[in-house]
Amino acid sequence: MATPDADGVYRFTYELAFTYSMYSPSNNTPVLYDVNSQKWIRLNSTLTSACNASNVITDDLDFALQDVNQFSGLHVRMISINGKIPGDTIVVPLGAEVEMNFKNRIGTRSLSVHVHGLDKMGLWYTDGVAFVQQCPIGPNSDYSYRFVADTAGTQFYHGHLSTEFGEGVMGGFLVKKTVEKTYDAQNNLMVMGREYYTLLQVFIQLLPVTNFFKGHWNHRHGGRIASRIRSIRQIFQTIERTLGS
């Protein structure tokens, strides 16, 4: 669970910037995973060796891979949230006042962010659907969404202007009921470990969209929509890590 500031507001600051999947920023090198040998391969990114030369990483694998966004397993330019894809999972109590500040640092592009699953009652004009509910967050601009986390459950936030969702702008957003107790038929107190209903609903919504966009876009946007499905799976994993810690 996140900790609020002194004034009781839960604040999160996110810098959105370009990064690359299957790339290690700290080692400044692209990497590959070779399925046959089950080894990670660090590509030689200098011009001092043959173009196809590569080095197999045989030691210190954890260090080399600690900052690699694997995502689709392909080399794609992505948009990271504070260097990560997906962004950190937010966990706040039901009724929390939340402020999400986004710093758009993706070159000349604009974007917007929608928190999926919250009602955000009375705040339609700042709910993230660009050009319908708000102006996009312009290049090199900052924008804060301030709202009450009014809908309990497992929700998530994602980009909502063009393709930035499929490029990595997403993360889990958990709203926990901290006081409600649920009992089973034998009147035993149940401890809820997971609430997934919103994400499952999104899965169902996205599948036909995916098929539609595949035909139209795949030749230009190579796999980004398909990677959206993988993205949601990675949000699940991030949420599990957050809850498990």
Residue type, 191: V
Contact stretch for Cu ion (CB under 5 A) within 29-37, 108-116, 190-198, 228-236:
108-116
Nearer to Cu ion, 116 or 224 (CB): 116
- Choose which of 76, 112, 116, 232 interacts with Cu ion (CB under 5 A): 116
Nearer to Cu ion, 49 or 201 (CB): 201
Q: Is 120 in the site for Cu ion (CB under 5 A)?
A: no
The closest residue (CB) to Cu ion is 116
- Nearest distance from residue 96's CB to Cu ion, in Å? 20
The first and second tokens of residue 49, run together, are 């060796």
- Nearest distance from residue 113's CB to Cu ion, in Å? 10
Nearer to Cu ion, 40 or 145 (CB): 145
- Nearest distance from residue 219's CB to Cu ion, in Å? 26
What string of DSSP letters covers the chain? -----TTSEEEEEEEEEEEETTEETTTTEEEEEETTTTEEEEE--SSSS-TT-EEE--S-HHHHHTT---TTSS--EEEEETTBSSEEEEEEETT-EEEEEEEEESTT--B-EEEET---TT-GGGSS-BTTTB--B-TT-EEEEEEE--S-EEEEEEE-SSSTTTTT-EEEEEEE-SS--EE-TT-PEE------HHHHHHHHHHHHHHHHHHHHHHHHHTTHHHHHHHHHHHHHHHHHHHHH-
Nearer to Cu ion, 116 or 228 (CB): 116
Torsion sign over Cα 124, 129, 135, 139: positive
Phi-psi region of 19 (alpha: psi -120 to 50; beta: other; left: phi over 0): beta
- Nearest distance from residue 116's CB to Cu ion, in Å? 3
Nearer to Cu ion, 71 or 165 (CB): 165
Contact stretch for Cu ion (CB under 5 A) within 35-43, 114-122, 137-145, 216-224:
114-122
Nearer to Cu ion, 71 or 173 (CB): 173
User: Which residue bears the tokens 């919250």?
Assistant: 118
Contact stretch for Cu ion (CB under 5 A) within 31-39, 112-120, 220-228, 236-244:
112-120
- Nearest distance from residue 114's CB to Cu ion, in Å? 5
Contact stretch for Cu ion (CB under 5 A) within 100-108, 110-118, 140-148, 167-175:
110-118
Peptide bond preceding 86: is omega within 30 degrees of 0, i.e. cis?
Answer: yes
Count of residues interacting with Cu ion (CB under 5 A): 1
- Nearest distance from residue 205's CB to Cu ion, in Å? 9
Q: Which residues bind Cu ion (CB under 5 A)?
A: 116
